[in-house]
Structure 1
Amino acid sequence: MRKKISSLNNPFIKNLLLLQKKSKLRKSQEEFVIEGLQEISYAQKATYEFSQVLVCLDLFDNALDLEKFDCEITEISLDVFEKLAYRSSTGGLIAIAKPKDLRIENLRLSSKTPLIMIAEAPEKPGNIGALLRTADAAKLDAVIIANPKTDLYNPNIIRSSVGTVFTNSIGTGTTSEIIDFLKNNNIKIYAAALQDSSSYLAEGFKEATAIVVGTEHQGLSEEWRINADKIIKIPMEGQVDSLNVSVSAAILIFEAKRQRQLS
């Protein structure tokens, strides 16, 4: 018989609320929460392991779909779902999943001429989500986060990325570790920075390429500029001298994609 939870004071529900808020708890318990039909579907396709799925039958309209989950299914009341859910339009489904080891040494590249996006120390979940959506749209070979400020299983990142945190091939590490990885794999480094830079339109990105972006306020660390094969910029014609990091990344990545489609 399927377990049912209707109390907001249930210890399991209280723990899930903390799991959504606290990165340290996600790491110690090795679990995180996924909300929404699309996000859960993407995680399934990416072979994430689910430990439990919570379903609100008042909102979930296809009970047969529950058979595809190889884990415990728990029915929750509408009150409990609304307490756990950030959004009301996610189909009445919440999953608890096991994280993957995203360290850079576990990243595998299938292409001989990969196109990779690297973001150094992004902090805002909205920016990280936008970067991941761009990477998915361009079908990049990998996304690498250098010196991450938050874990990628933060519910705000999952939500802002509309689940593309699961569709991308992702690696994380320190700047030094990532530079070593790129050099060991003969991947050229194109660092986006203003100092001593040339227009991105003057460069070619058909070989194995990593496009590296920093935060809008801090930019890239000196280590990237020292180790870059090229320092590139997006020419600015107005008063401001920088763009939002996700916008900058999108411009550079789709120029690289455009060049590759011409060959």
Structure 2
Amino acid sequence: MQNAIFASMKSITSPQNSFIKDLLKLQDKARERKKKGVFIVEGQRELKLALAGSYEITHLLFDPSLCDTTTLTSFDTDTNKYVEISREVYKKLAYRESTEGIIAVLKSKDFSLDAVKFNTETPLVLVMESIEKPGNVGAMLRTADAANVDAVFIADPKADLYNPNIIRSSVGCLFTNQIAVGSSEEICEYLEAQEINIYSATLQNSNAYHLNDYTQPSALVVGTEATGLTEIWRERATQNINIPMQGTIDSMNVSVAAAILTFEAKRQRDFQ
């Protein structure tokens, strides 16, 4: 079904082409991405990371003045997937200029909790609940990749993970992390079943983050800057934790907080 709207095309020069209009809808609307089961990635770095993460290409669009067919074959040798586009079309589709003239349509993947597999007996998981801003989601995915956490769980998501702004702000780390999506209840139950300690970043009934032992199976949970974590995370936490604030304001950017907590856990694990 998802390929029905993508008729085989070799060259497109007009931004008014129906295929290009469908791609623009994919960029702009989460509903379209979910309905069609595909999404868009631009840039050679991001595409390499997606392919390394076992994503499958359905179409490979390129501006021949910026990207030659030799480069394309390094991504996919099936020339039936290639679509040559004009500079005008490329500019219409591209979010930024520095993406080397390549835009790909990829099949979406399963983000279910059932698909998660840990390769260690002491997994470290980063959980983000109801984070709305794509830039914050992307920044935390970058942190998770940098720390090589075992999984990232998105609880009650407010943003579609295939939003182009998340892909861009994560610099492709959407594809390098093991990710699962579910409700807060589902993720809490999963962590408890796996005997993973839950450390919820919240002021209520909390102690300073650095006083806890994160060398055991651990989940670090962060919520929105405006309202914090919901009650389920505060009540079912192994321990609520806080980052002591010594300035005038009483909160910090959630992606910064997630980085502080994550790298404290990695420090305790000797960065293993």
Please report the TM-score for the alignment, with normalisation by the length of structure 2. Answer: 0.94
Structure 1 segment 104-123 matched on structure 2, within 5 A = 104-123=113-132
The number of residue pairs the alignment matches comes to 262
Q: CA deviation at 1:204?
A: 1.0
Aligned with residue 131 of structure 1, among 96, 117, 140 = 140
**2:72 maps to which residue?**
66
Where has structure 1 moved over 6 Å in runs of 4 or more? none
**1:10 maps to which residue?**
17
Q: Which amino acid aligns with 2:63?
A: C
Q: Which amino acid aligns with 1:261?
A: D
**1:54 maps to which residue?**
61
SS of 1:149 mapped into structure 2: coil
Q: Which amino acid aligns with 1:213?
A: V
| Conservation of the 8 A alpha-carbon contact between 1:50 and 1:70 | no
Structure 1 segment 184-195 matched on structure 2, within 5 A = 184-195=193-204
**2:212 maps to which residue?**
203
Q: Which amino acid aligns with 2:153?
A: I
**1:215 maps to which residue?**
224
Q: C-alpha distance in 2, partners of 1:34/1:70?
A: 18
| Conservation of the 8 A alpha-carbon contact between 1:20 and 1:154 | yes
SS of 1:164 mapped into structure 2: coil
Q: Where does structure 1 lack aligned partners over 5 or more consecutive residues?
A: none
Q: CA deviation at 1:70?
A: 4.7
| Conservation of the 8 A alpha-carbon contact between 1:118 and 1:212 | yes
1:114-155 deviation per Cα after TM superposition (whole angstroms, max 9, x unaligned): 011000001100000000000011011000000001210011
Identity of aligned residues (%): 49
Q: C-alpha distance in 2, partners of 1:92/1:9?
A: 19
SS of 2:265 mapped into structure 1: helix
**2:169 maps to which residue?**
160
Q: Which moved more, 1:130-139 or 1:106-115?
A: 106-115
Q: C-alpha distance in 1, partners of 2:256/2:73?
A: 40
1:181-214 deviation per Cα after TM superposition (whole angstroms, max 9, x unaligned): 1011110000000111100111110000000000
What CA RMSD, in Å, does the superposition of the two structures yield over aligned residues?
1.4
Q: Which amino acid aligns with 1:21?
A: D
**1:83 maps to which residue?**
92
Aligned with residue 186 of structure 2, among 177, 183, 208 = 177
Q: CA deviation at 1:65?
A: 2.4
SS of 1:83 mapped into structure 2: helix
Q: Which amino acid aligns with 2:35?
A: S
Q: C-alpha distance in 1, partners of 2:27/2:233?
A: 33
Q: C-alpha distance in 2, partners of 1:128/1:200?
A: 21
- Name the CA shift for 1:140/1:10 in 2 (closer, same or farther; >3 Å): same
Q: CA deviation at 1:20?
A: 0.2
Q: CA deviation at 1:63?
A: 2.5
Q: C-alpha distance in 2, partners of 1:78/1:70?
A: 23
Q: CA deviation at 1:105?
A: 2.1
**1:38 maps to which residue?**
45
| Conservation of the 8 A alpha-carbon contact between 1:50 and 1:97 | yes
Q: C-alpha distance in 1, partners of 2:169/2:271?
A: 32
Q: C-alpha distance in 2, partners of 1:2/1:18?
A: 18
Q: Which amino acid aligns with 1:20?
A: Q
| Conservation of the 8 A alpha-carbon contact between 1:54 and 1:93 | yes
SS of 2:268 mapped into structure 1: helix
Please report the TM-score for the alignment, with normalisation by the length of structure 1. Answer: 0.97
